[in-house]
Structure 1
């Protein structure tokens, strides 16, 4: 692998990304720009990569480093990628070792931008990003948050762990597959809570891992992703807009709002089916006689069915999830097919959750049922693998 580091204050975060790569067993050549070395010195990169740092086209000239490094790479990731570096890459400039490496690389290339908001939003930068994406590079959307000094906004380098996950995803797939480029998608994740009083709630065991994997996978395929997350404790996926909610009604409001401009909506969240008809403003106390308070429930709105029947955006693909255990009325798949017909969505991902399987696990397996009668079995594997299998089904159905 090649880790390119451009000259931005976020260069220090690339040291943690490098550590993740080397600890996972990847062989990494670090190629910092001259400006990057003013933020983090060559000894740091050499110590963490266990290799000499490549800084000049004139070093080891007999090995032709400005060509060899790019030719031999399986992946090139530039983090941080400054506005200057993006401009040079988009226009094919090769005035140092890193930009020369980018021109000679025939492997997947990932850029993780970091800069001030005004620089990121400038039309020149946006045109350069569009150019790089059109040529097949993956340019991760920067995060929002604290920037240099007191400034805050979009332009922050995504969390190194999230950049690492994106890179591993690209390496696993062997290419940047931009089949969702230019598309807007909405993914929901996690489990909603319905409060009984200020401290107690009705909820479920959804961890949000599958929804986050779906969001991350869509971003790696070029989509603009909005993730509506209910009560999760997971870090924001790189390049994804995250909207946090608690209750089913909040989830419904945010999903419907985002769905109005979305090409696809994937409802991976687990909304609570019921909520209390009333919520106590004070903590409910135990009764001295040992009795328990009566709990009256009402049904929550069916968000998946509403999306499927109203289609906030005409032609949008709607995907639902069904966590089933099977019972006397039918098997897991039979119940799944009945739910698909009842909800009216285009695809339904059916999980067998007997014994609590799936919840909180890094792995998953499922059957993806289609409204046209098709069925795709996805064997047990990572939730990222299932996420890509789902997008593989969504992409050809997009309008």
Structure 2
């Protein structure tokens, strides 16, 4: 039984595809999962709680207070109980609630309380599924780190044919099993990640920095931690912090501080991801007092900072994997491939400033992955959490070391 011991919270919303939830419940239980079902009120019009309770061998919840028994259903306890919250099907209405933090029923309240991974399987008519508002909401919930199971194509209840069908229960089961298999595929691995900007002091008030938010590094750190790794994050000042509390964070400001913290733990690491936007240069002399505004201009002598990835790349041990990032504005692939070789990377991720929806400060990104063996993979514009998962899958393809 592939899901033995796993606790799955199954959410069912108001869609004609709700009838498939019975078959899905049976498949999950057959694989050993403990299934607790929550229904939205509108889902009651499509399938009965009695059917689902019989298949799951548990009472089905759909309201906060049960007047028949006088009992209160604690959405917080439900959210903390589960190893996975699977919402299948999810309607456009409930999707909108999840995207905007609306909380007017037991299912949406439980979603906001859940600490486990959330997997969402939409089902609706093809024009609804392609509507800009629905696409936006799917992107939003994906950016929260939720897993989207794209609707399948085929004949729909409207009589039309196209994308919008709930993913078949057998395929959902496969995704659930794969999730738990991959959930610990980096178990025991020690991972170093650098993230965010560095700040190079000019005087006690001013500094040289860049626009990096650290969102990509935080997403990568969370993905590794979710999948069992021991994560060490060297984090630039002002950068976004990851959500996972188990991640060890080493706050730094300057490039030199980031190098020192990274070098201190580097030898013990299995995987190193250099995602920080490190300043190439720093002021040669840092004023001890605030520099007063005088004259029409000011010249600052700069000196080159330590190249963290290059320096640690020279110290890379045979079992270690090094992953780098490149942000380019011209001859992008050429420069990225040069860095791949020069810095002894196994994989380099190219960010492009030319793509709308990609780059600093945004929740989305578009990347190209260049591997040491010469092959390349490209993404679409996706939430950074999904880009992070793509990067981890790329790391798994690096031979022998993992």
Identify the residue that residue 275 of structure 1 maps to in structure 2: 282
Q: Deviations over 1:84-131 (max 9, x none)?
A: xxxxxxxxxxxxxx7xxx7xxxxx548xxxxxxxxxxxxxxxxxxxxx
SS at match of 1:384: helix
Identify the residue that residue 359 of structure 1 maps to in structure 2: 360
TM-score (norm: length of structure 2): 0.58
> CA shift at 1:163, angstroms?
6.4
- Matches of 1:191 and 1:165, distance apart in 2: 30
Identify the residue that residue 337 of structure 1 maps to in structure 2: 337
Identify the residue that residue 299 of structure 1 maps to in structure 2: 304
- Asked if structure 2 preserves the Cα contact closer than 8 Å seen for 1:364 and 1:380, the reply is yes
Identify the residue that residue 234 of structure 2 maps to in structure 1: 228
1:233–1:252 CA distance, 2 compared to 1 (3 A): closer
> CA shift at 1:181, angstroms?
1.4
1:61–1:345 CA distance, 2 compared to 1 (3 A): closer
Unaligned runs of 5+ in 1: 5-17, 28-47, 52-59, 71-75, 82-97, 103-107, 111-159
1:355–1:378 CA distance, 2 compared to 1 (3 A): closer
- Matches of 1:264 and 1:320, distance apart in 2: 11
Please show how residues 35-50 of structure 1 align to structure 2 within 5 Å.
none
Identify the residue that residue 347 of structure 1 maps to in structure 2: 347
- Matches of 2:240 and 2:224, distance apart in 1: 17
- Matches of 2:113 and 2:310, distance apart in 1: 33
Identify the residue that residue 393 of structure 1 maps to in structure 2: 394
Q: Deviations over 1:168-211 (max 9, x none)?
A: 64643742312111211111110100000011100011110000
- Matches of 1:193 and 1:62, distance apart in 2: 57
> CA shift at 1:309, angstroms?
1.4
- Equivalent position to 1:240, from 218, 240, 247: 247
- Matches of 2:335 and 2:283, distance apart in 1: 27
Identify the residue that residue 249 of structure 1 maps to in structure 2: 256
Alignment pair present for 1:323 and 2:327: yes
- Asked if structure 2 preserves the Cα contact closer than 8 Å seen for 1:217 and 1:388, the reply is yes
1:309–1:391 CA distance, 2 compared to 1 (3 A): same
Identify the residue that residue 286 of structure 1 maps to in structure 2: 293
> CA shift at 1:301, angstroms?
0.6
The range that moved more, 235-244 or 196-205, is 235-244
> CA shift at 1:382, angstroms?
1.1
> CA shift at 1:2, angstroms?
6.2
- Asked if structure 2 preserves the Cα contact closer than 8 Å seen for 1:307 and 1:318, the reply is no
Alignment pair present for 1:172 and 2:177: no
Q: Deviations over 1:325-374 (max 9, x none)?
A: 00xxxx21112112222222111101111389411111111111112212
> CA shift at 1:236, angstroms?
3.6
TM-score (norm: length of structure 1): 0.59
- Matches of 1:223 and 1:242, distance apart in 2: 14
- Asked if structure 2 preserves the Cα contact closer than 8 Å seen for 1:365 and 1:379, the reply is yes
> CA shift at 1:265, angstroms?
0.6
The range that moved more, 339-348 or 349-358, is 349-358
Alignment pair present for 1:202 and 2:208: yes
Alignment pair present for 1:262 and 2:269: yes
Identify the residue that residue 67 of structure 1 maps to in structure 2: 57
> CA shift at 1:241, angstroms?
1.7
- Asked if structure 2 preserves the Cα contact closer than 8 Å seen for 1:186 and 1:255, the reply is yes
1:198–1:235 CA distance, 2 compared to 1 (3 A): same
- Matches of 1:273 and 1:2, distance apart in 2: 48
- Asked if structure 2 preserves the Cα contact closer than 8 Å seen for 1:214 and 1:384, the reply is yes
Query: What CA RMSD, in Å, does the superposition of the two structures yield over aligned residues?
Result: 3.7
- Asked if structure 1 preserves the Cα contact closer than 8 Å seen for 2:236 and 2:251, the reply is yes
Count of matched residue pairs: 268
Identify the residue that residue 131 of structure 2 maps to in structure 1: none
Write out the 4+ residue segments of structure 1 that deviate beyond 4 Å after TM superposition: 1-4, 48-51, 76-81, 160-166
1:62–1:310 CA distance, 2 compared to 1 (3 A): closer
1:218–1:206 CA distance, 2 compared to 1 (3 A): same
- Matches of 2:206 and 2:342, distance apart in 1: 32
- Matches of 1:78 and 1:225, distance apart in 2: 28
Identify the residue that residue 186 of structure 1 maps to in structure 2: 192
> CA shift at 1:308, angstroms?
1.5
